[in-house]
A = this chain, B = another copy of it.
Amino acid sequence: MKLIDSLETRGIRLTAQRRILVEAIDNSAEHLDAAALLERARERDPRINRATVYRTLDMLKRQGLIDELDLMHLNGEKHYYEPRNRRNHAHLACLECGRIEEYSSETYELLKQEIRERSGFTTDVVRLEVGGRCRACSERKHG
């Protein structure tokens, strides 16, 4: 389900600007940071301001509808965002070429369940990030 629909379901009204921002997140293939999101949204309404971006992201976070990623700080301290509805997945970041790959599996689900059972913590937000070298970069080095 798209963010826009989740918000609708919850009866949350969006202003025109916020709608543009939410749709930009929904329709993006890659992970966007605040600046990229602003840039993209401005294609549809150039008046949109940075502060509005952050305030909209804040609203989505408080609704638990988006996840905030660091992607191993590969590009500084900025945060990246993605809708939470996809199956929760790890992010593998290649420290050499910067490629980001997503990873999910039964074992990952199992681990989360195990954490809940053994620690008593709820797992509201789970962030698994791996920094390493992707296969292509490894082979390029060895070859």
Which residues does A use to contact B, with CB under 8 Å?
68, 70, 72-73, 77, 90, 92, 94-95, 101, 103, 105, 107-108, 110-112, 114-115, 118-135, 138
B132 contacts A118, C-beta separation under 8 Å: no
- Give the 6 A-B residue pairs with the shortest CB-CB distance, closest first: A120-B135, A122-B132, A125-B131, A124-B132, A121-B132, A128-B128
Q: Which residues of B contact A101 (CB under 8 A)?
A: 119, 121
Sample of 24 A–B contacts (CB below 8 Å): A72-B125, A72-B127, A90-B115, A92-B115, A92-B119, A95-B124, A103-B115, A105-B111, A108-B111, A115-B130, A119-B135, A120-B134, A120-B135, A121-B132, A121-B134, A122-B132, A123-B130, A123-B132, A124-B131, A124-B132, A124-B133, A126-B130, A126-B131, A127-B129
